[in-house]
Structure 1
Amino acid sequence: MPSKTALSPQIADKTPAPSLRPHPADSEIWTIVRAEARDLAEREPVLRASLERLLAAESDAALLSGVLATRLAADEAERRTIGQLLTEVFSAEPYILARVELDLRAVRERDPACESFLHVLANLKGFHALETYRAAHSLWHSGRREAANWLSNLASLVFGVDIHPAATIGSAVMLDHGSGIVIGETAVIEDDVSILQDVTLGGTGKQTGDRHPKVRRGVMIGAGAKILGNIEVGAFSKIAAGSVVLKAVPSHCTVAGVPASVVRIHRADEIPSASMDQTIL
């Protein structure tokens, strides 16, 4: 059996998984983004200059880096520095762009306020924070920990999302709204997870070492929920808004309350992260 802390498409308790949308190669998303940017530039003069700079990017990696650097930087010199660093990371690690593409698609499909991929890329700070984390995570594991911490701190200050660069986060993840999300150093988030604002994946304050939650595939975590300690949130479960979770959560259920307890068992085909249904009963 794979380690419960390893990022894996398998579910730790081997519960049968509902049928999820397959993850195709999503590189066509960047073609769509560019088409949406050209259309918007023609319609909205106020945004034309920034969109033309986006369209001038020589690669998908440079396009994404330019958007993030513009959001993160305090001035033009810092924008160039951050943009160069991010482009280097994204260009050297193609798997990161593949995960970004799945994140883009996840937000576009799950957020009813999103009318385009361009809107996600250009405007949503939860997405910006997650993709900045992906660069910081790569730097962390390549031995550039000071640069990783610098980038992570910038993202926390600008976006209000605090993700330790050593945390492990899969693909097709949505940080909805983003504000106030905290993800600790040894946290693991598998694929197809949705997390709303003001969520904490933290330690208890007493542990050292591996001390943060392990969130399995297909989970939705409601606004304001706190999950504390090295505990597992089972696949395709739902954490109700405002809950405080101190014990392991079984797969395919909803937990709610302070402290949280199981209030509903799900059908086998329910995917909370995709439905984004906030009801608990």
Structure 2
Amino acid sequence: MAETRRNIAEIDPTWQRITTEAEAAVRDEPLMGGLIHACVLHHKSIDRALSYRFAAKLASNEMSMVVLREIADDAFAADPGIIEAARADLNAIYERDPACHRLLQPILYFKGYQAVQAYRIGHWLWTRGRKDLAYFIQMRTSEIFGVDIHPGARLGKGIMIDHAHSIVIGETAVVGDNVSMLHSVTLGGTGKEEEDRHPKIGDGVLIGAGAKVLGNIKVGCCSRIAAGSVVLEEVPPGSTVAGVPARIVGEAGCDQPAVEMDQILDH
């Protein structure tokens, strides 16, 4: 086993770090050994671990863990970009969330990370016309994690959803790379309109807790949306908006708001 892990380390140092953290966690808390071995140490790669975690969390009497693992494995094999995005999401959380001290934590405990990875599998199904199965993944993700991301939505890489309670992202929403959002964020429509009806969030945007962005509007790159805001109009790049309805209150204050995670408005 040790020799196998050394070989893995030469190929994938990130996975080696995760397994090293997992081994330390078992030593520190033996009662967690069963869970940590099942989720991490029994697997040879991050994609196998994520496949297992996805299936274990979403399995039910309606869809077995075996079937869900096959779906995830098929998705990862067909589109390596899913795992590339999963790695970027993992690093984003580690770099931005002060509560995350190990790469192991999001895989085991953070529902925002796990929900986004489930969405990515559902989106893969959606783009291949397997919409009923994609809807099932959306339903189970919402039931288990309290995160409702339509499989038709398009999310970039390096996504961090902190706390992740009551997140809603609509069908035609687009979220760029390196976006951070907190709990109770809605990227929704404004009524019963059809076609392209949801927000387009640029790269590097920070969306505060409870913010609602409604309609087919653009939120410019590296901008900030203050907590509790209701955004109904386009947001220019590099700006901060706040209020109900939201208005521009200043510049973003830094080059990468989503990374800095600074939500304090200047007075």
Count of residue correspondences:
255
Query: Which structure has the highest helix share of the two?
Result: 2
Is 1:28 aligned to residue 36 of structure 2? no
72, 96, 100: which one aligns with 1:114: 100
Cα distance in 1 for residues equivalent to 2:245 and 2:51: 41
251, 269, 281: which one aligns with 2:237: 251
**In the TM superposition, what whole-angstrom CA distance separates every residue of 1:119-174 from its partner, at most 9, and x where no partner exists?**
11110000011000000000111121111111111001100000000100000010
> Amino acid of the residue matched to residue 135 of structure 2?
N
| CA pair 98-207 structure 1, distance change in 2 beyond 3 A | same
Is 1:40 aligned to residue 29 of structure 2? no
60, 75, 85: which one aligns with 1:89: 75
Q: How does 1:211-230 map to 2 (within 5 A)?
A: 211-230=197-216
| CA pair 265-77 structure 1, distance change in 2 beyond 3 A | closer
- TM-score when scaled to structure 1? 0.87
State the Cα distance separating 1:27 from its structure 2 match.
4.6
State the Cα distance separating 1:76 from its structure 2 match.
11
Q: How does 1:11-26 map to 2 (within 5 A)?
A: none
| CA pair 271-56 structure 1, distance change in 2 beyond 3 A | same
Cα distance in 2 for residues equivalent to 1:272 and 1:68: 30
State the Cα distance separating 1:77 from its structure 2 match.
7.4
- TM-score when scaled to structure 2? 0.91
> Amino acid of the residue matched to residue 225 of structure 2?
I
Is 1:69 aligned to residue 55 of structure 2? yes
Matched-pair contact (CA < 8 Å) for 1:27–1:98: no
Cα distance in 2 for residues equivalent to 1:207 and 1:157: 26
> Amino acid of the residue matched to residue 180 of structure 1?
S
Q: Which runs of 5+ in 1 are unaligned?
A: 1-25
| CA pair 75-123 structure 1, distance change in 2 beyond 3 A | farther
Is 1:278 aligned to residue 267 of structure 2? no
Matched-pair contact (CA < 8 Å) for 2:182–2:207: yes
State the Cα distance separating 1:39 from its structure 2 match.
1.6
Matched-pair contact (CA < 8 Å) for 1:61–1:91: no
How many percent identity over aligned positions?
44
* Larger RCO (CA under 8 A, 6+ residues apart): 1
Cα distance in 2 for residues equivalent to 1:34 and 1:244: 42
SS at match of 1:162: strand
Q: Which runs of 5+ in 2 are unaligned?
A: 1-10
CA RMSD of aligned residues (A): 1.6
State the Cα distance separating 1:58 from its structure 2 match.
3.9
> Amino acid of the residue matched to residue 89 of structure 1?
A
State the Cα distance separating 1:75 from its structure 2 match.
6.3
